[in-house]
Each structure stands twice: as C-alpha cells, then as structure tokens.
Amino acid sequence: MTADTKQMIMDAARAMVQARGYNGLSFRELAKEVGVKSASVHYHFSTKGDLGAALARRYADEAIEIFDGFLEASQDVRACMRMYTDVFRSALSNNNRMCLCGIMAAEHDDLPAEVRAEVDRFTDVNIRWLVKLLSRGKKAATAAIEQRALAIFAAVGGAQLVARGRGDIAVYDEAIEAYRAAGLLP
Amino acid sequence: MTADTKQMIMDAARAMVQARGYNGLSFRELAKEVGVKSASVHYHFSTKGDLGAALARRYADEAIEIFDGFLEASQDVRACMRMYTDVFRSALSNNNRMCLCGIMAAEHDDLPAEVRAEVDRFTDVNIRWLVKLLSRGKKAATAAIEQRALAIFAAVGGAQLVARGRGDIAVYDEAIEAYRAAGLLP
DNA sequence: CAAGCGCTATCTATCGATAGATAGACGGAG
DNA sequence: CTCCGTCTATCTATCGATAGATAGCGCTTG
C-alpha cells in the first residue's frame, strides 16, 4: 500500500482549493481529510505557499500533457476545441468545482508570490496551446490569433465561474454553445 | 462632519473586497483604513456576513440604476453594450480591481448564505438587463436571447478575471474586441 | 436626561508554523 | 547476527498572530 501520503495530501488539497479557494484551505482541515496531523503536512510542504505552488505547478504540467494529447489525437480543430472545453466542464461535473488556477486567479493579489507565478504560468500554458490549435486552421496574423486565444480562454473561464455560481452545469454548456454559435469558438 | 462612518466603512470595504476578495477582508484592517476601531464596524454591521450582504446588495442596486440609465441614454444597442463593458473596464482601471460580485462569485461556496444570495442577485440583474438590451435589436426566441445574455455576462467576467491576473487592462480590451469581432457582442 | 456612536478591553476560535519526541526502516561495523 | 547510528515520517504540544465577536464605559448632541 503505497498510499503515498504526499500524494494524498496534494490530491485532497487540490480538491479543497477547487471547492473553496486558496484562502479557504487550512492545514488542519486538510490534515483531517487525509487522516494525519497538520504537522505532517508541514513535513512535506514547509509552508502553505509551498503547497499552493506545488499544486499549481502540477496542475499546469498536467494541463500541458493533456492538451498536447488532444493535438495528437485529432487533426480536427473543432474536435480539439471540444475536448478542451470538456476539460473545464469536467471540473464542474466533479462536485461543482472550479479550475484550480481559475479560482486562484480570483485571489491573485492575495497569493504568495511563488503561487502566483505558477498560476500565471497556467494561463500561459492555455494561451500557448490555443494559439497552437488556432494556427492549424488558418494562417492568420499572429497577433490576431493570440488575441483570439486569450478571448477564448477568458470566455471559458468566465463560463465556468458563472455556471458554478448557478450550481448548474447546463449554464456552462449553454455559454459554450453560444460562443460556438457566435463564432468565437471554431 | 457628516462624513458618515457607515458610508466610509462600506466604501472602504468594497474597495478591499474588490482587491482581495471576501475572505481577504478583515474587520481590523478595514477599521484601520477608515480610521476607527473594529468594534465600531461591528456597531454598524453586526456580523461579517451582514457587511458582505450589504455591500453586494448596494452593488446590485447601483448596477440596476446605472444600467437602466444606459437604456434611457441611447437607443443604440451597440452603444449601450459598449457602456456596459466600460463599466467592467472601469473596475480594472481603478487599481486593477475586480467587479465586487465577480470576485465573490469565485468564493461562492465559502460565502455566508445571505452574501451568496445577494451575489446571485447581481448575476440576475445583469442577465435580465442584457436580455432587455438584446431584445431591442431583434425579436429572436426568448430562450436564444437568454442564452446569449448569459454567455455575454460570463465572457465579460472572464475577461476581467484574466486581465486582472495579467495586470494589464489592454488584455481586457483585446478580449472584448475579440468578442465583438466574433459577433458575440452586438 | 436619553440616545446614538465610538471607544477600551477582552473573549474564543482558528490560523500557519515550530519544537521536540518517537517508532520503525535501513545499512554498515564488529 | 547484532548492535549502533542515521534517516524518514509522524506524533503531541505549543507558539504568536489574527480572526470575528462582545460587554460595558464615556462622550456628544439634540
């Protein structure tokens, strides 16, 4: 039983942050959830900032892998985009949670610097990937594509935020559909 | 000196929440900002939930007034929409702040019930207004207009969130412009 | 005088963080 | 094989800071 405590801590912490934000994460509650003492959490992550940064770093790294898998899985821009929006959808369908970095972005100015840096990197990762995807379709000007990528990322994040507030995943689906209908999404 | 303390408290509290979120608001810091003691804040708002709900309520009420003023000021749908997006822009230009209810929406599940109710009402106010505006243009199906209104609200909120994270108001402008170019915004 | 309002002083709960102890695994030395 | 030292991982207990909240005093003003 390699129920690696460190992994369990990170998993539980991610879920808690996705549900209640970085400020809503406490070592004591986290430890209780995992079944250890808060001192043990400090053993693995010396400060709360360390933990938050580790969470965001792993999250961004996983995003790169997953997103790049989409690009390899299909040459169809529309299909890839659908897989992309489905990733954000799955956070909602998993107990009405938000994207880890989406919710942390709201707390942006309150975050320890090392956490903020990783959250910003997640944004970069998304935008770079979207640029790569959009570049497949047409060879528009780079600036135009970057603008479009940014708009898509913002719109998807906003849809997630509003849908979670409503507690209704259908709200997300409707927003995405409206984006597609308007031509914002390919 | 009717520098009404209660008003000063609400003004300072709103600014602090817009910068750091509801969880980032503390009575002590708020009191210091206003120049009173935290006990005095409790005199006007018996609990933090009371204060948060009052903030969100006033915010939503002001939004109704401001937005309806747009509808009266111009018959042009595009002009009204620009005024609408400019309201969200002004939060950013005011010290890189977020919409009060936008940032609270991220903390949605952590909010006291009375605060959450007002935040939800703000969303309603926005969507109802957008529906009213969009209905001017064309007589599309109600469901389609509501979907569109929701998508616009989400997209604008997302643009604000991302732009604040980047600390660059130009990001907001670019996203809005992309929405317009795509035809999401009229 | 009475009410309204802000104060001092204090409470309880919880936060992140740290100190120090301990149980057990592992490896090398005699 | 066994003893010794070290390392890992967790524990208990506690720290100072800060959170929101409260009781009661005192000033000011109508």
Q: Determine the 3-state secondary structure of A96 from DSSP.
A: coil
pLDDT digits (tens, 9 = 90+) for A27-77: 989 998 888 888 899 999 999 999 999 999 999 999 999 999 999 999 999
Q: What is the mean pLDDT of chain B?
A: 93
Does A3 have pLDDT greater than 80?
no
Nucleotide nearest to A41 (CA to C1'): D10
pTM, 2 dp: 0.93
B141–chain A nearest CA distance, Å = 14
Chain A residues with beta carbon closer than 8 angstroms to that of B175:
147, 150-151, 154-155
Going by pLDDT thresholds of 50, 70 and 90, the confidence category of residue A2 is: very low
pLDDT digits (tens, 9 = 90+) for A130-169: 999 999 977 778 899 999 999 999 999 999 999 999 999 9
pLDDT at A153: 98
Range 32-51, chain A: CB under 7 Å to any strand D atom: 35-40, 43-44
Q: Which residue is nearest to nucleotide C4 (CA to C1')?
A: B43
Chain A residues with beta carbon closer than 8 angstroms to that of B151:
155, 159, 174-175, 178-179, 182
> What mean pLDDT is predicted for residues B2-8?
78
Å from the A43 CA to the D11 C1': 12
Cβ-in-10-Å burial (0-12, 13-18, 19+) of B15 comes to middle
Q: Rounded to an integer, what distance in angstroms lies between the CA atom of residue B102 and that of residue B88? A: 10
Contacts of A36-45 spanning 24+ positions with Cβ under 8 A = A36/A5, A36/A9, A40/A5, A41/A9, A44/A5, A44/A6, A44/A9, A45/A9
Q: In the structure encoding, which two tokens stand for residue A97, read together?
A: 């949670």
Question: Is the distance from CB of A41 to CB of B131 less than 8 angstroms?
Answer: no
pLDDT at A141: 85
Q: Which residue is nearest to nucleotide C19 (CA to C1')?
A: A39
B144–chain A nearest CA distance, Å = 9
Å from the A40 CA to the C28 C1': 30
Contact, A46 CB vs strand C, < 7 Å = yes
Chain A residues with beta carbon closer than 8 angstroms to that of B121:
none
Any idea what DSSP says for residue A111?
A: S
Identify the structural domains of chain A with CATH numbers, from first to last: 5-182 (1.10.357.10)
Does B8 have pLDDT greater than 80?
yes
Nucleotide nearest to B27 (CA to C1'): D20
Å from the B100 CA to the C18 C1': 38
Percent of chain B clearing pLDDT 70 (strictly above): 98
Q: Determine the 3-state secondary structure of A4 from DSSP.
A: coil
Residue carrying structure tokens 């935040």: B119
Question: Is the distance from CB of B94 to CB of B156 less than 8 angstroms?
Answer: no
* Nearest of B105, B88, B92 to residue A166 by alpha carbon: B105
B158–chain A nearest CA distance, Å = 4
pLDDT digits (tens, 9 = 90+) for A63-94: 999 999 999 999 999 999 999 999 999 999 99
Strand D nucleotides with an atom less than 7 Å from a protein beta carbon: 9-13, 18-24
Percent of chain B clearing pLDDT 90 (strictly above): 82
pLDDT at A4: 84
Nucleotide nearest to B42 (CA to C1'): D21
Does B41 have pLDDT greater than 60?
yes
Q: Which of the two residues, B1 and A21, has the higher pLDDT score?
A: A21
Candidates B106, B151, B165; nearest CB to A178: B151
Output phi, psi for A85, to 5 deg: -65, -25
pLDDT digits (tens, 9 = 90+) for A87-122: 999 999 999 999 999 999 999 988 999 999 999 999
User: What ipTM was estimated for this complex?
Assistant: 0.91
Strand C nucleotides with an atom less than 7 Å from a protein beta carbon: 5-9, 14-20
Does B127 have pLDDT greater than 60?
yes
CA torsion sign for B4, B6, B7, B13 is positive
Q: Rounded to an integer, what distance in angstroms lies between the CA atom of residue B130 and that of residue B98? A: 20
pLDDT at B2: 46
Going by pLDDT thresholds of 50, 70 and 90, the confidence category of residue A13 is: very high
pLDDT digits (tens, 9 = 90+) for B45-60: 989 999 999 999 999 9
Does B82 have pLDDT greater than 70?
yes
Q: Rounded to an integer, what distance in angstroms lies between the CA atom of residue A22 and that of residue A119? A: 11
Q: Which residues contact B24 (CB under 8 A, 6 or more apart)?
A: A23, A107, A110, B16, B17
Chain B residue with CA closest to A126: the answer is B162
pLDDT at B3: 63
pLDDT digits (tens, 9 = 90+) for B10-33: 999 999 999 999 999 999 899 998
Q: In the structure encoding, which two tokens stand for residue B62, read together?
A: 């002001």
